[in-house]
Amino acid sequence: MANIRIIRKDITTLEVDAVVNAANSSLLGGGGVDGAIHNAAGPKLLEECKTLNGCETGKAKITEGYNLPAKYIIHAVGPIYHGGNDQEADLLYSAYWNSLDIAEQHGVKSIAFPNISTGIYGYPKKEAAEIVRKVIKDFIDERPGSIENIIFVCFDRENYDIYEELFSLNNEY
Ligand code: ADP
């Protein structure tokens, strides 16, 4: 069983074991949540990111949290939405799955996710949330007890409302 929470807050302020960043494949910073995380974590984050040689879409890499309250930052690269026929759903699923997998390998018990790909990358929010619900359920079914607390940080009202509806209807976690 995992405890799932949906909140509206700046993800950089959360005291969790790991926060997930919606990164781009260069891992060298960007706009949106990526910019906020780099600003709050400080310049040492970019130094470590430069050593990682980027990250493929659908994959994730981990760094220290530096000036964030979180111990780790997991940089996940979601797909850019090109209309839905470019394996976007699979790639979004894998970005979440690989984030959870790398979190588990580092003993993470509490993790906070932003709404990956639904900002600048343009993924339709409802469809993205349905994929998130599926991947979380699959991961918890396959690895029960590994991660105890999962927080979805829904920065915008639309995502918040979608998540509230989707996850309140499904209490099987
Ligand atoms: P992407 O390029 O993957 O679409 P964005 O950063 O543009 O990434 O958007 C992803 C989500 O992160 C959006 O829902 C956006 O509202 C949200 N977001 C932006 N800033 C923050 C923040 N400081 N904390 C949490 N979520 C944020």
Q: Is 142 in the pocket of ligand 1 (CB under 6 A)?
A: no
Residue-range definition of the domain harbouring residue 29: 3-168
23 assigned to some structural domain: yes
| pLDDT confidence of residue 138 | 97
Q: Is 78 in the pocket of ligand 1 (CB under 6 A)?
A: yes
Beta strands in the chain (DSSP E): 3-7, 18-23, 60-64, 72-77, 110-113, 149-153
**Closest residue CA from atom 6 of ligand 1:** 32
Q: How many whole angstroms separate alpha carbon 62 and alpha carbon 65? A: 9
pLDDT in tens, the chain (173 residues): 789 999 999 999 999 999 999 999 999 999 999 999 999 999 999 999 999 999 999 999 999 999 999 999 999 999 999 999 999 999 999 999 999 999 999 999 999 999 999 999 999 999 999 999 999 999 999 999 999 999 999 999 999 999 999 998 655 55
73 assigned to some structural domain: yes
Q: How many whole angstroms separate alpha carbon 101 and alpha carbon 139? A: 9
Domain count, the chain: 1
| pLDDT confidence of residue 170 | 52
111 assigned to some structural domain: yes
Q: Is residue 138 among the annotated active site residues?
A: no
| pLDDT confidence of residue 1 | 73
User: Which among 110, 125, 116, 82 has a CA at the least distance from the CA of 96?
Assistant: 116
- Output the domain CATH number for residue 14: 3.40.220.10
31 assigned to some structural domain: yes
User: Which among 14, 10, 64 has a CA at the least distance from the CA of 42?
Assistant: 64
Q: Is 57 in the pocket of ligand 1 (CB under 6 A)?
A: no
173 assigned to some structural domain: no
Given 17, 34, 156, 161, which residue is catalytic? 34
Beta bridge mates, 102: none
DSSP 58: T
The per-residue pLDDT for range 69-87, each reduced to its tens digit, is: 999 999 999 999 999 999 9
131 assigned to some structural domain: yes
